[in-house]
Amino acid sequence: MSSEQPAFDADGVLPLSGLELLTTTRAVRKRLDLTRPVSDDVLRECVRIALQAPAPSNQISVRFVVVTDPEVRRKLGELYQAGYGVYRQLDGIYIGSIAKGDETEQAQQERTTVSADHLAEIMPEVPAIVVGCVMGRSEDLGAWVTASVLGGAMPALWSFMLAARLHGLGTCWTSVHLQQEQAVAELLGIPFDAVTQVMLTPVAHYTGETFKPVDRPDPDTVIHWNRWQD
Ligand SMILES: Cc1cc2nc3c(=O)[nH]c(=O)nc-3n(C[C@H](O)[C@H](O)[C@H](O)COP(=O)(O)O)c2cc1C
C-alpha cells in the first residue's frame, strides 16, 4: 500500500479501494489540522452517505449534532476534557494503565496513550465536533432493546467516519464525554430524556499523507466456530 495520498477526484473524494478504506480509517488525533475549517457541505455529504447504513425496522433514528461554532466547540471540548480527567484516574481502564503482552504491542499502546492525551488537550480547538445521537433511551431495558436502540446509530456513525476519510477528513470515535452526558445535553439543547448520546468525534482535515493498516489480533483469536469455546 503506497504511503502517498492519492489525488482527490472532481467531487473531492479520494479514490481509495474498499480494502484501503476499511484498513486505513484510523483514530486521528495528532494529525488533526486545527487551522483549516471544515465545510458544512462536506459534513452534510458525509451524513448523506452515512444514512445508507442499516437501521432497525428501517427507521432512521440516528442524529448528528454538528458543532462548528467556536464558542460552543470550546465549551464542548472542555466537557470532553473533564471526562478525560476522570478517565485518566481509572486504573485498568485508562489506556495508559493497560499493560500489553509483548514489546511491540506495548509500544503501540504507549503511542496511542500519548495520542489520546493529546486529543483531550486540543479538543476545544478542533474545527468541527460531531456528537452522534440516537432517538430513544434504553437504560435497564435488556439486551434486545439496548442493542436495537444503540444499533440505530452505530452503523451510521461509523459510515460517517468512513465517508469523512474518503473526503480527506480525520475523525476519532470517543466516549469519555458521556460521563457528562447531561451537561453536554444542556449545552447543545439535546432533549436528554428522549435522545441518547452515543459518541463524539472531532472532524478536521488531516496533516501529512495517508494512513496505514495497524497490527490487530489474528482472526482465529476472536472467532468461535459454531459455538463459544474458551
Ligand atoms: C467505543 C469506543 C470508545 C472510544 N473512546 C475513546 C475516547 O474517549 N478517547 C479517545 O481518544 N479514543 C477513544 N476511542 C478510540 C480508540 O482508542 C481507538 O479506536 C483505538 O485506539 C484504535 O485506534 P486505531 O484504529 O487508530 O488503531 C474509542 C473507541 C471506541 C470504539
Tell me, in angstroms, the distance from the centre of ligand 1 to residue 215's CA: 15
DSSP state of 35: T
Distance CA 135, CA 11 (A): 32
Tell me, in angstroms, the distance from the centre of ligand 1 to residue 10's CA: 32
Range of the domain at 58: 23-80+125-207
Taking residue 128's Cβ as centre, other Cβ atoms within 10 Å add up to: 22
Nearest protein CA to atom 20 of ligand 1, as residue: 27
Mean pLDDT, residues 139-167 taken together: 95
In a domain, 1, yes or no: no
Phi, psi of 171 (to 5 degrees): -140, 170
Q: Would you say the CB of residue 176 lies under 6 angstroms from ligand 1?
A: yes
Q: Would you say the CB of residue 24 lies under 6 angstroms from ligand 1?
A: no
In a domain, 101, yes or no: no
Confidence of residue 3 (pLDDT cuts 50, 70, 90): low
In a domain, 74, yes or no: yes
In a domain, 158, yes or no: yes
- pLDDT tens sequence across 26-72: 999 999 999 999 999 999 999 999 999 999 999 999 999 999 999 99
Tell me, in angstroms, the distance from the centre of ligand 1 to residue 103's CA: 21
Confidence of residue 141 (pLDDT cuts 50, 70, 90): confident
Predicted TM-score (pTM) of this structure: 0.95
Q: Would you say the CB of residue 119 lies under 6 angstroms from ligand 1?
A: yes
In a domain, 130, yes or no: yes
**Any idea what the CATH number is for the domain that residue 34 is in?**
3.40.109.10
In a domain, 141, yes or no: yes
In a domain, 88, yes or no: no
Exposure string for 62-94, b = 16+ CB within 10 A, e = fewer: bbbbbbbeeeebebbbebbbbbbeebbeeeeeb
Q: What is the atom index within ligand 1 of the atom nearest the CA of 26? A: 26
The set of cell numbers assigned to 78 is 472542555
Tell me, in angstroms, the distance from the centre of ligand 1 to residue 26's CA: 9
- pLDDT tens sequence across 92-103: 999 999 988 788
What count of Cα atoms within 13 Å lies in the side-chain half-sphere of residue 188?
31
Q: What is the atom index within ligand 1 of the atom nearest the CA of 87? A: 8
In a domain, 99, yes or no: no
Q: How many domains does the chain have?
A: 1
CA nearest 110: which of 123, 125, 122, 100? 100
The set of cell numbers assigned to 131 is 456528537
